[in-house]
Structure 1
Amino acid sequence: MSTSTSPKPKILLLGEIIHAQKEWQGLSDIAELVTAESKNREEFIHDLSTKYSDVTAIYRTLFSVGITGRFDEDLVRHFPKSLKFVGHFGAGYDQIDVHALSAQGIQISNTPNAVVPGTADTNIFLVIGALRNFSYGQYQLRQNKWLSSVELGHDPQGKVLGILGMGGIGQAVRDRAVPLGFDKIIYYNRRRLPADLEKDSEYKPTIDELLAEADVISINVPLNKETKHLINKETISKMKDGVVIVNTARGPVINEQDLVDGLESGKIGAVGLDVFEHEPVINPGLLNNPRTLLLPHMGTHSYESRFDMENLVIENLRSGLTTGKLITLVPEQQGAF
């Protein structure tokens, strides 16, 4: 007597898994693993109606945007009816139109927890480096000058750290900043944190109140329509003279030209940036200013962070295929599935 078994659901990999290959191959016990061969967006759209027409899940790497383009409404309408899950590699998901996928009943996960330690560590490096004027010292040292006209920096003691966005990364930045001796740590968030999470920080009900009080402003908000160019000429004018601004979130949260203008006028004392508005293209006004401490988006540029991120996508897809629900649904979808 013969028995038949249902075919395994297919997972389509967009891009490359580098560090969690063993874990990725482990998914083969419940799914057929398919690596996309499309060379560009046009070809990918065609393949969605042919060889990828029956995929159940997509593993989307951040760098695959160079092939598929954004997961926008135009692309989503070509997705097969079989697609139920998209596991996105990265905490930020501004390359994805969540509304368009939700309308198709497709769940989306990101990797918020996996990026927290590396990004928060980078954030603190930029805070200290910008405060202490280390970028200016390094700039001169590479010109064979030794502290020639390098202005004195500042210690955290007696200063107010303002955190814009108190999600996982914002909270981790706060926890790492407490031992540094800031006089006060304040934060703004869409919703005030519960008392047990607020800990060593003070809530400010408006952004303007935070901007007016903070000596150092740490930007830890997601990028969306509301936060694009959140930091601009107007908001900078509300800050203290000589303010230090650090951004490890997303580049377009800051209007980069307004930031340059603030630096050149002296309104902004220094900046520490790991992200840029048009990266990898950097505004020359930032590159040529010695009071800018700049990194090429290295917040999660460590083996541990990348492995944890890759593995969390895999865990999400396994959960989706076995339970019908992803583990770390993006906030817009939480409670909807």
Structure 2
Amino acid sequence: MPKPIVLHLGDDIRWNHELYAKFQDAFEIRRSYSMNREEFKRALKERTFGDFFAIYRPFWNTGGEMGNWDEELISLLPASCRVYASAGAGFDWVDTAALAKRGVTYCNAAAACTESVADAAIWLIISTFRLFSWSHVAARSVDAEQFVDANRNLAMVSHNPNGHTLGIIGFGQIGRRTAEKAYLAMNMKIHYHDIVRMPSELESVSKATYHKEMDSLLAVSDCVMVATPFSGETLLNKGLLAKMKDGARLINIARGKLLDEGALVEALESGKLAAAGLDVHFDEPRVSPKLASMRNVEMMAHNAGASVDSHIGFERLGMENILSFERTGKAVTPVNAHLVAKANGSKL
């Protein structure tokens, strides 16, 4: 029998060559490389790639030139397509519900970048308590006045995270790993909010306290971290920011559109919030000039998960998802398996 076809989007793999050799033994690999949207649509319509079983995107920086995976693209997939495995943790660029209706399981690679994102989250937490960004900019300015200003005045508005309460919105792998690091390394008190409560064994490592309602989490947290997927709507708006403790800090390592940046600016300018740490931004790659000008705001260019270790894991996990699905009918890290089951009229 002919081998199932896998459509490989983007660049060649770089690290997991032995696994890719096994992947090639199991599947016929066809490549799209870096087609733009119109080229890719035409290729799908003309069945250029054949009746492929799976889509594999090993890198975040390539293979996405066709733009968002919306109904327009998804409707052009062959009926044979059953699984889509991609690099990256976020999946706001792909309509996972539309994929599910066509029986396609979408798999992300959050597990591969968990450690890197959690490390970055800890750095942002520490920096928002200690206002390291102020000190960093002052030193790099090579300006004696700025240096003296930070040297003399930073201590009066700087605090240790130790003993403070970290409230995490979204207690998935990244949220839990950040909680473990914050609890074990900095003795922070861990509270979290999620759609469902996690099993006790997942809470026990960081002695995490569950909040069914977000309001109660915001009310007790000295620092709030957003670590939940973007579902299409702003999560923290002006009303919810107002429910945070006075002088609290806010960290966002999830998606920029989860946070109302205008409301954040107001909260920081009024003193309602003491500081913010942002890896992600509402209108990437454009950053809010107002937030960028504030010395109590730490910023990154969406690099929290960016490490060689993460990319090696992205590459490997995508192949493992497709291999597992072909052998067992189940993926390793499915995002929308429940929606596929619902579309098929079955239960997981």
Q: Same fold (TM over 0.5)?
A: yes
Give ranges in structure 2 of 5+ residues lacking alignment. Answer: 342-347
Contact 1:87 1:317 in 2 (8 A): yes
1:35-54 superposed matches below 5 A: 35-37=31-33, 39-50=35-46, 51-54=48-51
Given the two structures, how large is their TM-score scaled by the length of structure 1?
0.92
Q: Which amino acid aligns with 1:19?
A: W
**Deviation sequence 1:17-67 (CA, Å, 0-9, x none):** 333344334311011112204631111011012212322111134345752
1:1-337 superposed matches below 5 A: 6-16=1-11, 17-37=13-33, 39-50=35-46, 51-60=48-57, 61-64=59-62, 66-143=64-141, 144=143, 145-148=146-149, 149-150=153-154, 151-182=156-187, 184-199=189-204, 200-225=207-232, 228-333=233-338, 336=341
Count of residues paired in the alignment: 330
TM-align CA RMSD = 1.9
Contact 1:188 1:206 in 2 (8 A): yes
Given the two structures, how large is their TM-score scaled by the length of structure 2?
0.89
**Deviation sequence 1:290-322 (CA, Å, 0-9, x none):** 111111111221111110111000111112223
| Counterpart-to-counterpart distance in 2, 1:183 and 1:105 | 43
Contact 1:38 1:47 in 2 (8 A): no
| Counterpart-to-counterpart distance in 1, 2:268 and 2:326 | 50
Post-superposition offset of 1:103 = 1.1
Quick one: structure 1 residues 321 and 38, their matched pair in 2 at CA, closer, same or farther if it must change by over 3 Å? same
| Counterpart-to-counterpart distance in 2, 1:103 and 1:62 | 25
Specify the SS of the correspondent of 1:67: coil
Q: Which amino acid aligns with 1:146?
A: F
Quick one: structure 1 residues 213 and 303, their matched pair in 2 at CA, closer, same or farther if it must change by over 3 Å? same
Name segments (4+ residues, structure 1) moved above 6 Å: none
Post-superposition offset of 1:241 = 1.6
Q: Which amino acid aligns with 1:70?
A: N
Post-superposition offset of 1:128 = 0.5
| Counterpart-to-counterpart distance in 1, 2:263 and 2:288 | 11
Once the two structures are overlaid, the 10-residue window that deviates more, 37-46 or 94-103, is 37-46
Specify the SS of the correspondent of 1:71: coil
**Deviation sequence 1:89-112 (CA, Å, 0-9, x none):** 122111111111111111211113
Post-superposition offset of 1:239 = 0.9
| Counterpart-to-counterpart distance in 2, 1:52 and 1:216 | 49
Contact 2:112 2:313 in 1 (8 A): yes
Post-superposition offset of 1:335 = 7.7
Contact 1:260 1:286 in 2 (8 A): yes
Post-superposition offset of 1:158 = 3.6
**Deviation sequence 1:142-173 (CA, Å, 0-9, x none):** 22232404343111234211111111111111
Give ranges in structure 1 of 5+ residues lacking alignment. Answer: 1-5
Specify the SS of the correspondent of 2:53: strand
| Counterpart-to-counterpart distance in 2, 1:38 and 1:116 | 27
| Counterpart-to-counterpart distance in 1, 2:6 and 2:20 | 10
Quick one: structure 1 residues 77 and 127, their matched pair in 2 at CA, closer, same or farther if it must change by over 3 Å? same
Contact 1:107 1:333 in 2 (8 A): no
Contact 1:47 1:53 in 2 (8 A): no
Quick one: structure 1 residues 239 and 275, their matched pair in 2 at CA, closer, same or farther if it must change by over 3 Å? same
Post-superposition offset of 1:141 = 1.4
Post-superposition offset of 1:191 = 1.0
Contact 1:163 1:220 in 2 (8 A): yes
Quick one: structure 1 residues 261 and 66, their matched pair in 2 at CA, closer, same or farther if it must change by over 3 Å? farther
Post-superposition offset of 1:188 = 0.9
Once the two structures are overlaid, the 10-residue window that deviates more, 326-335 or 174-183, is 326-335
| Counterpart-to-counterpart distance in 2, 1:255 and 1:276 | 10
Contact 2:5 2:50 in 1 (8 A): no
| Counterpart-to-counterpart distance in 2, 1:198 and 1:122 | 21
Once the two structures are overlaid, the 10-residue window that deviates more, 30-39 or 240-249, is 30-39
1:3 is aligned to: none
| Counterpart-to-counterpart distance in 1, 2:321 and 2:328 | 10
Specify the SS of the correspondent of 1:185: strand
Contact 2:104 2:340 in 1 (8 A): no
Specify the SS of the correspondent of 1:218: strand
